[in-house]
Amino acid sequence: MLQHGPLLERLLAGDFICQITDEDAYRHLSQEQTQQEINHYLRPLNRRLVSNDDHSVYFLGFHELTKEAREHLSSQFSLTVQSLLPLLEWLQLVQETLGRDSALTAGDTIKLQEFVLRTEDNQSLRQRLNTLASDRFFNSQSEQLDNQVKLIFRRLKEHGYLLQPHAERQYYVVTGKIDYLIDLIRFIRDEEHLPVDDTPTQEALI
Amino acid sequence: MAPLEPAIASNLFSIGAERLALLGKHHKALMQGYVDGFIDESAFSEGALKKLIAARILWRPDEQQPLALRPLVSELIASMVADENRRQINADVAEKLEQIRNRVQAYRDAQFKGDYSVAELQLQRLTEHVHDLSGQFEEAIDSLWHRLNSDFGFVSSLDDKIRENERAQKQLRRLLDGLDLLDFHELIELSEGNNHLRKLLVSQLQNQLSSHHSSLLEVQKRLVELLAKFRQQQARSLLIANMAAFLRQHPKYQPADYPHRSDVPSLFNQAASIKPQAAIALDKATERQVLAELVRALPRPSSVTITDTQSASFSLLLQDEEIAARQQALKTDVENFYLRVIDQGGKISALDYLSTQQLSWDSEIWLYQIIAEYQALPLDEKQMFSITREEAPASAFNGLLLIRDINIGLKAA
């Protein structure tokens, strides 16, 4: 268990472990033997290892759902629900601004400067970014585009959706937590039978 | 088939060489035509155009249409530059097979007649056909890999990529069907009793085709995987767009309370964070050395004695009190001045009063305080006093006025 010390510490701190954030740790976590060891170790702390459906990201959940645990989950859930729209809008905005043909996935790189440059010249993108930055989730007070973008990316880094490989270089890598977010949305959609399609219509296929 | 007469053969050679040279001579204009899809006729002289048309390099598809490259020439260029947008895959095996059969027959007939030079020529043609057949697959496989490895980067949108992938899969199926047409029993029969034929049709062709077959299967696997990836990306984009639209339309939307269900979905089971903390422990004698070094390595605070700071704050406090007392004294003196005005009933100059009473205030501060006190009066009391300022311009160039003195008097009620 000693060799997984730093990994356990990250997990306990609430980090999401995926191939992007920590490749070695992710490889370890993908082995059933290690999973069992870690779960055994975490048992007295009332924690267990949880992953999303396709096992692309690992994090810790409660082992037993005590009253306190449920209260924590409940408050966390309402925060997550609040953050859904700003996160989705950000995903759309990045895709459109950078002219990508598909949504962001784990491992994609975003250059901050490129994003700023493209937004600067486009009034409608600028407007959307402005609205997004002032959303409660990002809560920017600044009117400056540069500051708004920096704040948005910093917040997403804090929330674990982005990774900044070099502190002084302004480029970010999308982490596997995005997959988790998508899974979450898909789950809510299925569970609540929301009228939200993700298959192209018949005309689009032809 | 009769062998070509030397005269015709040399004629063929010179015409072919001449026409190939035409391609080289007009390479830039022709390439521009390939890119644009039509030929800019002004780039050529009339004679050159005639020659190019006669050489079957250019043609006019329709009376109204501009000149264009012949499809075969376009195809040649597409294959040379691996332009996947235009490159074509020829999956027609039946025709080639038919030609091979005919050539084998002609070869055997010539041998039977003992006409060895004709037989030699037929074998040469047969070899070409076999190589063509193999090359046709090679070209197709090369094109498919090229498209795969570039992730279909030659089209921009995801929808186009999906369509291109599906098209490639159809081509691949046709190629595999074509391979199925090749019946090695038939080829073995064809080459029976002839070493040359057996080598060409059986060992060589079989070898090549079986390697093509496995390549095609590999490409097929990868194409299917890539298509699945494309579809997944497409689904993700759509989910994001549609969910965002839904949430925008229903700002009050609140999903069910999953954390309070009896069976909490694992996606929502995200535990509170625990931060392991540690402090220095002194119970292990072996670690003392390390700890002592750590303590020694601590940066020392700069030497500020405690008494110094105490006296400083003490005097500061005293000063504050002193200032408050002086302010109070000034206020009282100004109030006395106003009382004098009321007693006397006439106008009194502030500075005169200051000097007659032998007060120690600086004259400017004195005037300020008098004005401040006047402004602080309630409105009805303010009206009881008349205030007149003795002013002088500060300089001839601006409208700035300096107050020299103030006269306060009681207004006649």
- Hey, where are the domains in chain B? 1-81, 87-251, 319-410
| Segment B45-53 mean pLDDT | 87
pLDDT at B88 over 80: no
Instruction: Name the residue with tokens 């905005």.
Output: A93
> Is the domain of A96 the same as that of A47?
no
Residues of chain B found within 8 Å of residue A62, distances taken between Cβ atoms: 269, 271
Q: For B15-24, what is each residue's pLDDT tens digit?
A: 888 888 988 8
> Is the domain of A148 the same as that of A47?
no
> Is the domain of A7 the same as that of A50?
yes
* Chain A, nearest residue to B264 by Cα: A65
Inter-chain CB proximity A65 and B264 less than 8 Å: yes
> Is the domain of A95 the same as that of A187?
yes
Query: Given A35, A62, A89, which residue is the final one in a domain?
Result: A62
> Is the domain of A55 the same as that of A94?
no
> Is the domain of A153 the same as that of A117?
yes
A68 domain residue, yes or no: no
> Is the domain of A169 the same as that of A93?
yes
Q: C-alpha distances in angstroms, B397 versus B251, B393, B400, B402, B403?
A: 65, 9, 9, 14, 17
* CATH number for A144: 1.10.10
> For position B412, what pLDDT does the model report?
64
Q: For A154-206, what is each residue's pLDDT tens digit?
A: 889 988 899 898 888 888 999 989 989 998 888 888 888 887 777 765 444 44
Distance CA(A106)–CA(A104), nearest Å, equals: 7
Shortest distance, CA B186 to any CA of chain A (angstroms):
42
pLDDT at B69 over 60: yes
Residues of chain B found within 8 Å of residue A159, distances taken between Cβ atoms: none
Contact pairs from chain A to chain B, CB under 8 Å:
130
* Chain A, nearest residue to B156 by Cα: A101
Question: CB of B232 within 8 A of CB of B239?
Answer: no
Residues of chain A found within 8 Å of residue B226, distances taken between Cβ atoms: none
Count Cα neighbours of B60 within 13 Å in the Cβ-side half-sphere. 11
Query: Given A30, A62, A94, which residue is the final one in a domain?
Result: A62
Shortest distance, CA B231 to any CA of chain A (angstroms):
9
Q: For B343-380, what is each residue's pLDDT tens digit?
A: 887 788 888 888 888 888 888 888 888 888 888 888 88
> For position A149, what pLDDT does the model report?
87
> For position B311, what pLDDT does the model report?
47
Residues of chain B found within 8 Å of residue A182, distances taken between Cβ atoms: 236, 239-240
A67 domain residue, yes or no: no
Residue ranges of E strands in A9-73: 17-18, 47-51, 57-62
| Segment B402-406 mean pLDDT | 83
| Segment B208-220 mean pLDDT | 88
> For position A173, what pLDDT does the model report?
92
> Is the domain of A180 the same as that of A82?
yes
Domain of residue A13, residue span: 2-62
Residues of chain A found within 8 Å of residue B235, distances taken between Cβ atoms: 198-199
Q: What is the ipTM of this complex?
A: 0.84
Inter-chain CB proximity A198 and B242 less than 8 Å: yes
The predicted model scores a pTM of 0.60
Inter-chain CB proximity B270 and A101 less than 8 Å: no
> Is the domain of A141 the same as that of A47?
no
Taking each helix axis from N to C end, the angle separating B27-36 and B71-81, rounded to the nearest 10 degrees, works out to 90
CB proximity list for A21: less than 8 A, separation 6 or greater: A15, A160, A163, A175, A176
* Side chain identity at residue B154, one-letter code: F
> For position B309, what pLDDT does the model report?
47
Give the one of B239, B243, B271 whose C-beta lies nearest to A62's C-beta: B271
A141 domain residue, yes or no: yes
Inter-chain CB proximity B275 and A13 less than 8 Å: yes
Inter-chain CB proximity A88 and B275 less than 8 Å: no
Closest CA to B133 of B209, B67, B244, B59: B209
> For position B2, what pLDDT does the model report?
46
> Is the domain of A52 the same as that of A140?
no
Query: What is the count of structural domains for chain A?
Result: 2
Shortest distance, CA B341 to any CA of chain A (angstroms):
56
Inter-chain CB proximity B273 and A76 less than 8 Å: no
A199 domain residue, yes or no: no
> For position B319, what pLDDT does the model report?
64
Alpha helices (runs of H) in A43-66, residue ranges in sequence order: none
| Segment B200-227 mean pLDDT | 88
> For position B6, what pLDDT does the model report?
55
Inter-chain CB proximity A92 and B244 less than 8 Å: yes
Closest CA to B367 of B354, B377, B378: B354
A52 domain residue, yes or no: yes
Percent of chain B having pLDDT more than 70? Answer: 92
Question: CB of A32 within 8 A of CB of A12?
Answer: no
> Is the domain of A47 the same as that of A109?
no
A184 domain residue, yes or no: yes
To the nearest whole number, what is the mean pLDDT of chain A? Answer: 85
Inter-chain CB proximity B239 and A186 less than 8 Å: yes
> Is the domain of A11 the same as that of A83?
no
Q: For A117-165, what is each residue's pLDDT tens digit?
A: 888 888 888 888 888 888 888 888 888 888 888 888 988 998 889 989 8
A200 domain residue, yes or no: no
pLDDT at B316 over 60: no
Percent of chain B having pLDDT more than 90? Answer: 0
Residues of chain A found within 8 Å of residue B237, distances taken between Cβ atoms: 95, 102-103
Distance CA(B246)–CA(B253), nearest Å, equals: 9
Distance CA(B327)–CA(B321), nearest Å, equals: 10
Residues of chain B found within 8 Å of residue A200, distances taken between Cβ atoms: 159, 234, 238
| Segment A40-53 mean pLDDT | 88
Shortest distance, CA B150 to any CA of chain A (angstroms):
15
Strand partners, A49: A60
